[in-house]
A and B are shown apart, each in its own frame.
Chain A
Amino acid sequence: MIAGVLAGCASDDASAPDGAPGEASAVTPGALTVEAAWARPGGAGGMSALYARVGNGTTSPDTLQAVSAEVARTVEIHESYENDDGTRGMRPLGPIPVPTGEQIALAPGGKHVMLIRLRRALQPNDSLAVDFQFAQAGTRSMTVPVRLQPPQ
């Protein structure tokens, strides 16, 4: 009923998550990197999503196994998906492989890290401590800003 009148969806490639494959993905030779991480605002007791670009410039394949953040009671790796009827949802996703020479985008509308049951509210310009746990590279700890919009 609605599908026939949808408009404005096809202009530019806004359907791809920001920073999704297709962009020239430069990995840093010899390094596994987590870049441009940011998180959405959320209320205390509520939810947030966390995004980043993970690049594997090493010679060994790696896997993002888990993410932890003290600000949330539960943290899950998620993906958003689209059903045949155009509805969209999200579900837990297992560990994410990060092959050699590739960049994996955790970006709005695609793969993301869910911060579930926030212990405190996250407002724009706040920051939070996050650990990314990799099978090979170990733990990458960082401080991540809270933003309304992706960093440019």
Chain B
Amino acid sequence: MRKPPMPRVLSLIAAVLLAAGLIGCQQPNVVDDLSDTSFQLVDTDSTAVAFPQDVAGDIVVLGYIYTNCPDVCPMTTANMKQAHQQLGAPDDVQFVTVTFDPLRDTPSVMQRYSETWEAADSDWMFLTGDTSTVNRMMRRIGIRHQVTDTTTTEDGEQIFFISHSDLVTLIDEDGRIRQHYSGSRTPPEILVEDVNKLRNGSTIR
């Protein structure tokens, strides 16, 4: 099954094109491949979602929040919302917001959060889960979250605040993390641009 040797001129052209990245399988820059793992989470109506299997085939824009974070986390959700609007709620992109505070952020709390953001759509999931699964997922992706500040209300209740990574993650159709972005500070246009690059099969940066 030996192939005849390629004429020298053709192989030279191929080499040049390959070097220029114009043909051949250019290796995408993959940060982490999540397709070998599965995180059993739940949606706002408590239906099970296996992440990322259940969204495989779609490009995923993934954000991390806790709903008791009214300052920084809404900046992330607002950026995702604007990207979602600019993309025109497309079929091939799934937006996912997952909490790293599952004890307080129950499915019904996440439901309320999605309604507040007018994002309770089939193409935007708001996920929570049991603590160990959520912690495992955050550790795998590299999202840090730690209770650092507490406050006591006038009626003696302890409220805690979480220091956390400020990221949004772009995952390709094959469950591979392709890029992390600052969640609160990345202009939505950049997310949209990179979603379009994934659609075209071009590399991101």
- A interface residue numbers (CB < 8 A to B): 1-2, 5-9, 11-12, 14-15, 40-43, 46-49, 73-74, 76, 78, 80, 82-83, 85-92, 108-109, 112, 114-117, 121, 123-124, 148-149
Contact = CB atoms under 8 A, between A and B. Distances in A.
A108 B144 CA distance: 21
Given A88-B184, A117-B157, A46 B67 contact: yes
27 contacts: A2-B165, A2-B167, A5-B31, A7-B179, A8-B182, A8-B191, A9-B186, A14-B185, A41-B116, A46-B68, A47-B67, A47-B68, A49-B71, A49-B74, A74-B159, A76-B151, A80-B72, A83-B163, A88-B163, A89-B148, A91-B148, A108-B71, A108-B74, A108-B75, A109-B75, A115-B70, A116-B159
Contact of B161 (A90, A109, A115): A90
Contacts of B74: 40, 49, 108, 148
The list of the 6 closest CB pairs from A to B, nearest first, reads A89-B163, A49-B70, A8-B190, A8-B186, A9-B182, A74-B153
Contact of A80 (B71, B154, B157, B167): B71
A8 B187 contact: yes
Given A49-B74, A74-B151, A87-B166, 8 more contacts: A1-B142, A7-B205, A14-B185, A15-B185, A85-B144, A87-B164, A109-B71, A117-B153
B193 to A, nearest CB: 9
Given A78-B71, A92-B149, A124 B116 contact: yes
B49 interface: no
A86 B109 CA distance: 27
A149 B118 CA distance: 13
B71 A73 contact: no
Contact of A91 (B144, B161, B179): B161
A76 B142 CA distance: 31
Contacts of B159: 74, 116-117
Contacts of A14: 185-187
Interface residues of B, number: 48
Interface string B107-132: 00100110011100000000000000
Nearest to B146: A87
Contacts of B204: 7
Interface of B: 31, 67-72, 74-75, 78, 81, 109, 112-113, 116-118, 142, 144-146, 148-149, 151, 153-155, 157, 159, 161-167, 179-182, 184-187, 190-191, 204-205
A78 to B, nearest CB: 7
A71 to B, nearest CB: 13
Nearest to A14: B185
B116 A123 contact: yes
B20 to A, nearest CB: 23
B113 A43 contact: yes
A11 B187 contact: yes
A48 B71 CA distance: 8
Contacts of A1: 142
Contacts of A88: 72, 163-164, 166, 184
B72 A109 contact: yes
